[in-house]
Structure 1
């Protein structure tokens, strides 16, 4: 009887967790970001200033997600317009995206694989 109960309950638990994913944070590919860059967008590099100086996507603003002033620095962005973010590999931008959602940003596009993926797929 317990097995039948678990077989019936498990799919509902899975769907319940799935429903908690954010609709404001969207993962995008390097090609999708490249296309978006044809327009004027809010592009943010969330790496450290030292990493940013080593190389960044043209037009990106540097707001370090690990910096003490991250939330304050976000105020220079328009929360109602989409914001595109990236880091080195995708870990810190995921953290930044969640913080931005909590700060009231409507749409955050997070580059899958970060600038590493960008450099492999777009930069020639």
Structure 2
């Protein structure tokens, strides 16, 4: 429990300093994740309603989010997205503070789906 609290505190302190890369989700392609991981941080219900191909789901709202993302290979770039962009921005900051090379896919799944309808 102390490790969890310490990790959470460390994440909160570094959130103000962390800066991650961003890319509009409408410019994302499956070629981008050839040597990367695509992380969907929405709830399992949202994920099951539709997601990008090859996405891994780790719910931002889970209490053990930081522990679960620590299982991801740090050698790979992590592309992260959510529904509209808020949760993924927060998750990207946490991932960045934990030493990941992270790219926040701005606009989220809704923007991606809207671009496919046009």
Name the TM-score class by shorter chain: 0.7 to 0.9
Match of 2:111 in 1: 117
CA distance in 1, matches of 2:33, 2:95: 24
CA distance in 2, matches of 1:75, 1:62: 14
Higher relative contact order (CA 8 A, sep 6+): 2
Alignment partner of 1:59 is 2:54:
yes
CA distance in 1, matches of 2:117, 2:73: 28
CA distance in 2, matches of 1:97, 1:110: 6
TM-score normalised by the chain length of structure 2: 0.76
How far 1:35 moved relative to its partner? 5.5
Q: 1:69 to 1:38 in 2, by over 3 A?
A: closer
In structure 2, the gaps of 5 or more residues are 1-16
Which one has a bigger Cα radius of gyration?
A: 1
> Relative to structure 2, which stretch is displaced further, 82-91 or 94-103?
94-103
In structure 1, the gaps of 5 or more residues are 1-19
TM-score normalised by the chain length of structure 1: 0.73
User: Within 5 A, what are the aligned runs for 1:41-120?
Assistant: 41-105=36-100, 107-120=101-114
Q: Secondary structure at the match of 2:61?
A: coil
Size of the aligned set, in residue pairs, is 102
- Going by fraction, where is strand more abundant, 1 or 2? 2
How far 1:81 moved relative to its partner? 1.7
